[in-house]
Structure 1
């Protein structure tokens, strides 16, 4: 057993604890116990003689590491995986002796402590660093030199303060600092890292405008590259206090396929240049900002766009009919061929509730959300060419007209929300053909007539889908259609009767006004009768002359 150099253990029936004797394997260099059902406590006795150990994997178990703060490990590891083990609550002080570490994973390790500054010295030669989902607090050093690091995930902690003003990490591909409490501005070096693929700074307290991009003078620093930011495929800045117009640094982000700027304070219009600079864009989320102006018609050129969310802004004008040209939304089969997103999740409102999707799952969502804006006009009929659409939300706008009957073309539609608009006319009977429809909201419009019946609509069967439309009748509403029609007929008769009564009242009022005036005004009475005498005389003369002319005409005919 002392000659054993590698040990890899997988789940075996009846094994639940790590044996104490494993610490006596002095020549062991590789120990992998990850992804098992091991439980219990590991102490220094389990590692007492592992002088040659270089690789240790205890991740995805229910193990508790109980090691004193002054413990000095006998090994110098190059790769350490402790994800989902219990290493806390204090930060493991023994890591200060692991100066040659290449990969370190202490994510979700129940550590509730200040992240010490010495840790960054120890990690200066690390290539992969995972500290996510702990309760780490404190701030980061002003200057960080991590020249070999390619992946760094410190998300899901309580880290605060400003981001490092100088970060030297030329190989960094994943900048995952989301779900913390970072403040201040986003440093310019972030927009010029040559290897960067993913930026996630969401759910922090970052603020202020972005650096000016007019002459690239702000984008100079420790890195030199002809095309800064050109390799980035994912940018997630949601839920901060960022302001200003649409970030101009994205003009260099030619490879971006995922962009989330939601829940900030951005203003101005949605620029048309995103079509030329980000031709591969698949997911665009701008909800809960202060964007205004119109939605660019040029968006139709984004052939890969399948997730468009601009809800809760002040975008106006009509819905561009050119959106029908979004080719990624015209097919039922879109889903698994997009870019590879890795971290965090996005939230949107689907089926009348907030739904969180992992970035991976957004590949399978075909969605348009234009709700809570100031769109006017009709729903373009061309929109129903988007046969792959699964969720359409146009609620809380100023849209009018009838709901197009060709809505049945959206065969894959699962959620449709047209509430709080000014739609009129009847509900199209073709809605019953949407067999995948599981959420419908047509409330607070001016729709009328009988609610269509069909198996799919009957499965929804909620009156809240139709409330606020006084002219609608039939199940699931309580008012019966026959009663409604009878009431409408009665109202019509009542309106006609009121019209005749008003005319009669007005006529009698006029007659009595004239009569009473002549009764008490002698001069008016005399003038009135004189006028009648004159009119009578003229009428009599005209009749007599006409009669004489007719007689003469007949006499001439007989002769």
Structure 2
């Protein structure tokens, strides 16, 4: 299309050529005869230079030009020309340059600039803005005061943002989604409770005006801070986030112990990811009070002690229920259109099935526990088998001992099970063959012994090298390892532990004890009858005498019949 197609369209207000892959060829000196209110030109080819004819559209309320082949600097006039626009989308291009230092004068509610080459600081934003996405650029910091007190969504991942998060974020009381993952942020997060109290009571002298930190609760539901360099202890900011559903602090430098207030401060957590930090101490039992948690990843830290008790209290993992509101599918309704404000372009790396897998907004359907690469000791609790909704369980690279729970076969939804590199002993439960969805199993480098069970999925796993699942257990025998088992195949292993027999059968000790009790009771009943009842005693011994006489006569007659009379 050229300017010839627009000749005479003096009253044109609305143009939508989106997703038609048209090439719009308009000269740099052309002055359009119309004054647009809305221009939707996504996926058309407007580039490589930023179209100068848009400079005359000062009344435009909506400009949507993502993926339009623009390879240019954002022109200086862009911010003033579109200062009255409420919806600006220039994403998925190769636009460069710094953002204007102050955008407070603009009227936009939605600004989408992701996947460009923008540099500089994130400026002070207008009070009207609700959705901001400047992810996948080269921005390197914040201004001290971000403004934007009505901001609901801030997606800033995959930039080069360094320094600290400004305390002005504490005044964004409507902020629900904050994604700062894959940046260079360091030090600690602001303690918004203390910040707000200082503003309300700057003198600090009147104790009667003391304000509880909980009175400054933020509305954040999704907080993604992975792959930065945050340090210090578990962020106190999180005490002000009672609505938090998804928390990702992976790959940072946090230290210290986890506080016991996690389940009280953030009772609705669905995802808690603390992988690859320096947290230490015991895993607090209070975490088991997170009834909604579906993704619990504490791997690659320095946790010690036992797997917490009451693990069966993770109610969301005890069910296969998947019907719930997905916060990553939220949408913002603007004056002209709706926009998804969740994780449409976000990916979260999850270690599962022995490899790193990328998840987007579908991560909410993953139900997993990963406590690997710590210093956990003790036994794997039998109560773990109640988490029937688990899809992935990884307890590898710890110091766990004892037997694999005999009832682990109840985890019917499990697709990935990794118990490798521990000190587990005894036999492998036959109930593993009940895991019909299992596609990845790793029991290597333990002290397991006995016959390897077979059946169902166990016979099909790792067809190219099935023995690798059991390597490092010299006591194991049978297919697929080289050592043969003595004798014929037996039933389900017991490991010498009566609790490892199937639940609906009697253990050996139970059977033996019942036999002894039955024999004693039966013998005593006979003895009691003979001792205290004279008639029965006479009849009993008379019967024995009669039986003896009969046997004697039969034996004598038989002897004479076959061998003749004695000499």
TM-score of Structure 1 vs Structure 2, range by shorter chain: 0.7 to 0.9
Paired residue secondary structure (2:111): strand
Higher deviation after alignment, 301-310 or 449-458: 449-458
Q: Which residue of 2 aligns with 1:147?
A: 127
SS in 2 for 1:104: strand
Whole-Å Cα distance in 1 between the matches of residues 62 and 104 of structure 2?
Answer: 13
Q: In the alignment, what sits opposite 1:527?
A: none
Q: Distance in 2 between matches of 1:463 and 1:400?
A: 22
Question: More displaced, 294-303 or 413-422?
Answer: 294-303
Q: Quick one: which of 438, 443, 464 aligns to 2:468?
A: 464
Q: 347, 350, 365: which is aligned to 1:348?
A: 350
Quote how far apart the aligned CAs of 1:51 are.
1.8
Match of 1:544 in 2: none
Paired position in structure 1 for 2:562: none
Instruction: Report the CA distance shift for 1:20/1:478 in structure 2 as closer, same or farther (over 3 A).
Output: farther
Q: Is the 8 A contact 1:192 1:229 kept in 2?
A: no
Q: Which runs of 5+ in 1 are unaligned?
A: 1-16, 486-559
**Structure number with larger C-alpha Rg:** 1
Q: 1:447 to 1:233 in 2, by over 3 A?
A: same
Specify the alignment match of 2:178 in structure 1: 199
Which deviates more from structure 2 when the two are superposed, residues 132-141 or residues 173-182?
A: 132-141
Higher share in strand: 1
Residue 400 of structure 1 and its aligned partner are, at CA, apart by: 0.8
Counterpart-to-counterpart distance in 2, 1:400 and 1:333 = 32
- Residues 340 and 439 (structure 1 numbering): CA distance in 2 closer, same or farther, change over 3 Å? same
Residue aligning to 2:272: 284
Q: 2:477 aligns with which of 470, 473, 479?
A: 473
Matched, 1:99 2:83: yes
1:26 equivalenced with 2:10 (yes/no): yes
2:34 corresponds to 1:51: yes
- What secondary structure sits across from 2:428 in the alignment? coil
* Whole-angstrom CA distance in 2 between matches of 1:463 and 1:62: 55
> TM-score, normalized by length of structure 1?
0.77
C-alpha contact (below 8 Å) 1:192/1:219 kept by paired residues: no
Q: 1:51-102 deviations in whole A, cap 9, x for unaligned?
A: 221101112x252335568656332211011122212233255524223211
1:448 Cα deviation after fit: 1.5
**Aligned residue for 1:492?**
none
Whether the 8 Å CA contact 1:50–1:75 is kept in 2: the answer is no
* Whole-angstrom CA distance in 1 between matches of 2:351 and 2:250: 13
Tell me if the contact between 1:415 and 1:440 (Cα under 8 Å) persists in the aligned partners: yes
- The verdict on how the C-alpha distance between 1:214 and 1:177 changes in structure 2, with shifts beyond 3 A counting, is closer
Deviation at 1:122, TM superposition (A): 8.4
CA RMSD of the aligned region, Å? 2.7
Pair 1:51–1:140, CA change in 2 (3 A): same
* Structure 2 runs not aligned, ≥5 long: 201-210, 330-341, 490-567
Post-superposition Cα deviations, 1:286-326, rounded to whole Å, max 9, x if no partner, equal 01111111111122222111110000011111112311111
Report deviation, 1:168: 1.1
- Residues 1:124 and 2:124 are matched in the alignment: no
Q: Could you say which residue in structure 1 is the equivalent of 2:380?
A: 379
Select between 264-273 and 20-29 the one with higher mean Cα deviation: 20-29
Is 1:269 the equivalent of 2:251?
A: no
For these two proteins, the number of residue pairs brought into alignment is: 459
Asked if residue 231 in structure 1 is aligned to residue 219 in structure 2, the reply is: yes
Deviates more, 1:442-451 or 1:22-31: 22-31
Q: C-alpha displacement at 1:19, in angstroms?
A: 8.7
- Deviations 1:176-207, CA, capped at 9 Å, x for gaps: 22111111111112123111111111111111
Alpha-carbon distance in structure 2 between the residues aligned to 1:46 and 1:30: 22
Q: Does 1:80 align with 2:59?
A: no
Structure 2 residue aligned with 1:512: none
1:303-452 maps to which residues of 2 (within 5 A)?
303-334=291-322, 336-340=324-328, 342-343=342-343, 344-358=346-360, 360-452=361-453
List per-residue Cα deviations over 1:515-558 (Å, max 9, x = no partner).
Answer: xxxxxxxxxxxxxxxxxxxxxxxxxxxxxxxxxxxxxxxxxxxx
Contact 2:127 2:150 in 1 (8 A): yes
Say which of 142, 156, 166 aligns to 1:177: 156
2:166 aligned to which of 168, 187, 194: 187
Q: 1:101 to 1:213 in 2, by over 3 A?
A: closer
> Per-residue CA shift, 1:475-498, capped at 9, x if unaligned?
33234435999xxxxxxxxxxxxx
Aligned to 1:39: 22
Distance 2:325 2:387 in 1: 18
Cα gap change, 1:335/1:378 in structure 2, threshold over 3 Å: closer, same or farther?
farther
Instruction: Give the Cα–Cα distance (whole angstroms) in 2 for the partners of residues 33 and 52 of structure 1.
Output: 17
Say which SS state the counterpart of residue 167 (structure 1) adopts. coil
Deviating more after overlay: 86-95 vs 127-136: 86-95
Distance 2:193 2:219 in 1: 21
Residues 239 and 23 of structure 1, relative CA distance in 2, 3 Å threshold: farther
The alpha-carbon distance between structure 1 residues 450 and 211, as it changes in their structure 2 partners (threshold 3 A), is same
TM-score (norm 2): 0.76
Partner SS for 1:349: strand
SS in 2 for 1:199: strand
Moved more, 144-153 or 431-440: 144-153
Distance 1:106 1:378 in 2: 55
Identify which of 299, 318, 340 aligns with 2:287: 299
Judged with a 3 Å threshold, the aligned counterparts in structure 2 of structure 1 residues 333 and 121 are, in CA distance, closer, same or farther, namely closer
Q: Distance in 2 between matches of 1:27 and 1:122?
A: 31
